[in-house]
Structure 1
């Protein structure tokens, strides 16, 4: 399978993974969002868990839309970004579009 850095994937079925340090098995539910990191690992957005990609996976290029979505989620969880946008009559989509343009401007 081929992925891009920043690509967001939504799981289409429940998946069981094993935590590296504890060996504990955890069920990741269907619908979980995962972003492919620059470290070429799958980062589970909701839980913060990180797992390696399958052996036959390859990571090439960047997904500016996914990176912009992740940055928006990050900002939303750490700042009152939605209220800030409302104060200036901007939407979530406006901000994500500007983030994508900024990333593309620097070669992503």
Structure 2
């Protein structure tokens, strides 16, 4: 788990996730199943359950879906946003997953 000096938002947590593991995290065995780069994910908490929209295709993020879901749920919990028992919905340009829950 990364620590920030500023409050964590779901968008900030997802931006960090899409940057991939740091060299220190890689040395400790962490990896990512998501593409690395500067993805711009959005989180809409006005929907029930919350909806995450990512700019990658389903084929690109399918293996890392749990990483997106678990990161979002943890960030929502850290910012006192209620999370729906059903989890969250993840939307890509070509598919919508969910609602789905964190399975880690």
Higher strand share: 1
Q: Does TM-score exceed 0.5, indicating one fold?
A: no
For the pair shown, which has the larger CA radius of gyration, 1 or 2? 1
